[in-house]
Structure 1
Amino acid sequence: MSSTPTPSPSDESPLFALERELRVLTRRAGSSANAMAKRIHPDLDASAYPLLAHIAANPGVRGSDLAQQFGVGRATISRQLARLESVGMVCREVDPDDSRGQIITLTEEGATLLRTTHERRVDSISQALSDWSPDDVAALAGLLHRYSEDVVRWQATR
């Protein structure tokens, strides 16, 4: 059994460096997402923040659309929504256009807690990047957006 040696930093390709930085970023983002969810409510996990943010941006979204957006099954999204509903963050109502579906909105409490958490997150990012120029921050945001869009496009072809 042979093992492939790990490239040294001097001969590391840009793609290896990118993979490493994405791995570190993903780990740190997961930790941050857990902390943010706990700020919203102590019984929530990391999946809560992006789900609440999507519902806030798309009030009246259908549960099935959330499942598709987040790449999970309907049963999974239903459990997540039940949890959010049980702690008063969202309201589920029967879809007037299709009684089999549900439309999801944030409660006033959910909207307030999400807004407060979002403001804290932006403030934390601002503090962490305080030495960065506005152009560097904008460049990073643009490159991350481009990367995300390209990954979605690539996944659609697989």
Structure 2
Amino acid sequence: MAASTGPGASREPKEPRMDKPVDLIEFETMLLGRYVHLLAPRDRREGERLDRSAYILLSRIEAEGPMSIGQLSAAFGLDASTLNRQTAAMLRAGVVERMPDPEGGIARKFAITAEGRRRLDADRARNISGLRKVMAEWTADEIADFAGHLSRFNRDIERLDGRPWPRD
């Protein structure tokens, strides 16, 4: 029987090109971006989760302390209008508050509220729980090796971007 080649004909799925390790990394990071939301799915019973931008901004403010729009712009390479929209939504959600610059500067800074801390901690705990489920059959050494490689990968991206993330 001849294979159909017309519209709607079924085709065998094309295998991704994996002739180089970098090709495999590209493919796997693409999939990781697709699967991230599955690591800690939203559960209506657990309350409202932070959106991705709020989670990242709160994590940066947590690492550095209160930050102004200018500091956030420099840290993320985002324009002030984008950050103004994101921080306005965060203010409405009660996860940040504006405060005078503790060092006496003119610009007001954004600080995490108790509600912001609670939600950031809850989301982080759900994310970690999801990762533990995925890696349930990994050894402690495998997890440590993966963490080390992932950290190096991110640090090298940050080196090229010129905006390192503060780490403990």
Name the TM tier (shorter chain): 0.7 to 0.9
> How far apart, in 2, do the equivalents of 1:94 and 1:49 lie?
23
Of Structure 1 and Structure 2, the greater helix share is in: 1
1:61 to 64, 67, 76: 67
Q: Which has the higher strand share?
A: 1
Distance change >3 Å, CA 144–CA 72, structure 1 → 2: same
The CA RMSD measured in Å over matched residues stands at: 2.6
Q: Report matched runs for 1:4-153 at 5 Å.
A: 8-9=17-18, 12-29=19-36, 31=37, 41=48, 45-95=51-101, 97-99=104-106, 101-153=107-159
2: CA distance, partners of 1:34 / 1:119: 9
Measured in 2, the distance between the counterparts of 1:14 and 1:112 equals 41
2:23 alignment partner AA: F
Provide the TM-score with structure 2 as the length reference. Answer: 0.75
Q: CA contact under 8 A between 1:40 and 1:114: conserved in structure 2? A: no
CA distance in 2, matches of 1:72, 1:105: 19
AA paired with 1:141? A
The alpha-carbon distance between structure 1 residues 125 and 7, as it changes in their structure 2 partners (threshold 3 A), is closer
Displacement of 1:117: 1.4
Identity across aligned pairs (percent)? 28
- Distance in 2 (CA, whole Å) between partners of 1:89 and 1:69 is 19
1:148 positional shift: 1.1
Say how many residue pairs are matched.
146
3-state SS of 1:98 partner: coil
Greater relative CO (CA pairs within 8 A, separation 6+):
2
- In our comparison, the structure showing a higher alpha carbon Rg is 2
Report the TM-score, using the length of structure 1 for normalisation. 0.79
Question: Structure 1 unaligned runs (5+)?
Answer: none
Structure-2 separation of matches of 1:66 and 1:85:
15
User: 1:40, 1:83 → 2: CA distance?
Assistant: 17
Q: Any runs of at least 4 consecutive aligned residues in structure 1 with deviations exceeding 3 A, and if so which?
A: 5-9, 31-36, 38-42
Gap runs ≥5 in structure 2: 1-13, 163-168
